Amino acid sequence: MCRWMAYSGEAVPLELFLFKAKHNLIDQSMSSRSAETPTNGDGFGVGWYGSREIPGLFRSIRPAWNDFNLRDLAAQLDTRLFLAHVRATSLATVQETNCHPFRWKNWLFVHNGEIFEVERMRRDLLMAVAPEYFGNVLGTTDSELMFHLALTLGLEKDPPRALARMAGLVERVGREKGVAEALWMTLGISDGRKVWAVRYASDRQAPTLFHSRDMRDVYAVNPELEELVGPTARVVVSEPIGAYSQNWVEVPQSSLLEIDGSDLEIRPFAPE
């Protein structure tokens, strides 16, 4: 229902993964391999970490493929860590505050998926957001809500635990409202140092999620990438970017992935 990617590693030009690679994220905004949403033209956003304390955020309701400002920005910026997202929605409001990533201080959050029948739950879930984070809810997406629930449940202290607790809360409220299997998601989160990703669905059929292999393995097959992407690079994507499918490993269902430098660890994920 959207496409996203996260990058961590040596500084790269933002445009490398957004515009230059084969079947890059912007290509995916026009024409992805997602059965549900081949087109993701309901806005986009990119959050990037540089030399400031907080990441920059550029969000727009324009389809990513026709926004000249995005092309220019991507051409100008080098960044060591970024999250980017192209959105597809059905008749939900398209406005900048409904585009991902969402941001809280140094944290960024993107989501692909949905909370089924969220309208039954939204009021209860919104009320579960702690007052200190409440004023940061600027839009009306279930995605933004999930982010603020995770913050409420301790994201800034223990991200994996907070995400598990958030998933548990959503599923619990869902069941109370008669929705047996409410959650269907992949998530991308960063605090500017690490990147976390989650692939989970209540029905165990979450949307696709892939991570890149260690760059040394990638260079062995594709040496031309050595001058483009540094050795500590790690990338997480909804669907593979680039010309070489063997560079991507599928993230298993019900998993959490943690990237710290070039180290990548996958652990089981279950709602708490």
Enumerate binding residues for a copy of itself (CB under 8 A).
30-31, 38-39, 41-42, 48, 50-52, 56-63, 66, 68-69, 72-73, 75-76, 78, 89, 91, 93-97, 119, 122-123, 126-127, 131, 134-135, 137-140
Q: Which is nearer to a copy of itself, 80 or 213 (CB)?
A: 80
The answer to whether 41 and 47 are in contact (CB under 8 A) is no
CB of 50 to a copy of itself, least distance (A): 6
State which residue, 23 or 122, has the beta carbon closest to a copy of itself.
122
Give 110 or 256: the residue with its C-beta nearer to a copy of itself. Answer: 110
d(CA 251, CA 179): 26
Indicate the residue among 10 and 78 with the shorter CB distance to a copy of itself.
78
Q: Write the CA distances from 200 to 17, 147, 181, 244, 256, integer angstroms.
A: 25, 15, 11, 26, 8
Answer whether 110's CB lies under 8 Å from 4's CB.
yes
Nearest-approach distance from CB 84 to a copy of itself, in angstroms: 15
For residues 253 and 206, the answer to whether their CB atoms sit within 8 Å is yes
Closest to 268 (Cα-Cα) out of 118, 167, 134: 167
Residue 37 CB, shortest distance to a copy of itself, in Å, is: 10
Looking at the Cβ atoms of 108 and 163, the one nearer to a copy of itself is 108
DSSP letter at 103?
Answer: E
Q: Minimum Å distance from CB 94 to a copy of itself?
A: 4
Whether the ω angle into residue 55 lies within 30 degrees of 0, i.e. cis, is: no
User: Beta strands of 70-223 (E only): which ranges?
Assistant: 78-87, 102-104, 107-115, 183-190, 194-201, 210-212
Considering the complex, what minimum distance in angstroms separates the CB of residue 5 from a copy of itself?
20
- Whichever of 29 and 238 has its CB closer to a copy of itself, that residue is 29
Provide, rounded to whole angstroms, the least separation between the CB of residue 55 and a copy of itself.
8
- Rounded to a whole number of angstroms, the minimum distance from the CB of residue 236 to a copy of itself is 23
| Nearest CB to a copy of itself, comparing residues 104 and 219 | 104
Are the CB atoms for 109 and 26 separated by under 8 Å? no
CA–CA separation, 235 and 142 (whole Å):
25
Q: How far is CA 231 from CA 194, 219, 221, in A?
A: 16, 9, 14
